[in-house]
Amino acid sequence: MARPKKDTLPIKNHTFVVRLDDVQYSIIEKYASQLGISMAEYIRRQAVHGKVEIYHPVVASLPELQKLTDEFSAIGNNLNQIARYFHTGGLQSKAMREEINCCIAEIMEMRKTVMRMAGEFHGGTETPLQ
């Protein structure tokens, strides 16, 4: 039995020379390595398609995420009840104002927790300047 023929890729018979400074080179090198492709392939994709998307999928099954989701749901329900109360002509009270402030404080604290967790999964919450 004969060996199956390999798919032949189109021959690249044209050369394009580009000069880059150190910063440009390191940016292209970083993006190409994130995609797992050569720098030449990255530059080809950029030239032909305009923008090469780099995806960082986060796959996690953590009890912490489920807890945060449940807390967000509970806070959302509380805020919906408060909104419904005001939309039906309810009067503002000191207790109601305190409940609203409490919900906002919980949301802000949970936001910090989510940002911390995102940094652990993705390596940091701040984007470096390019």
The tens digit of pLDDT for each residue in 48-86 reads 888 777 666 656 657 777 787 788 888 888 888 888 888
Task: Summarize pLDDT for 101-112 with one digit per residue, the tens.
Answer: 888 888 888 888
Q: What pLDDT score was predicted for residue 59?
A: 61
Task: Look at 116 and 105; give whichever has higher pLDDT.
Answer: 105
* C-alpha span between 86 and 97 (Å, rounded): 12
Query: pTM value?
Result: 0.38
| Residues 6 or more apart whose Cβ sits within 8 Å of residue 67 | none
Place of tokens 């000069």: 19
Quick one: residue 50, left, alpha or beta (phi over 0 = left, psi -120 to 50 = alpha)? left
Q: What pLDDT score was predicted for residue 56?
A: 60
Q: What mean pLDDT is predicted for residues 116-120?
A: 69
- Where are the chain's structural domains? 17-55, 63-122
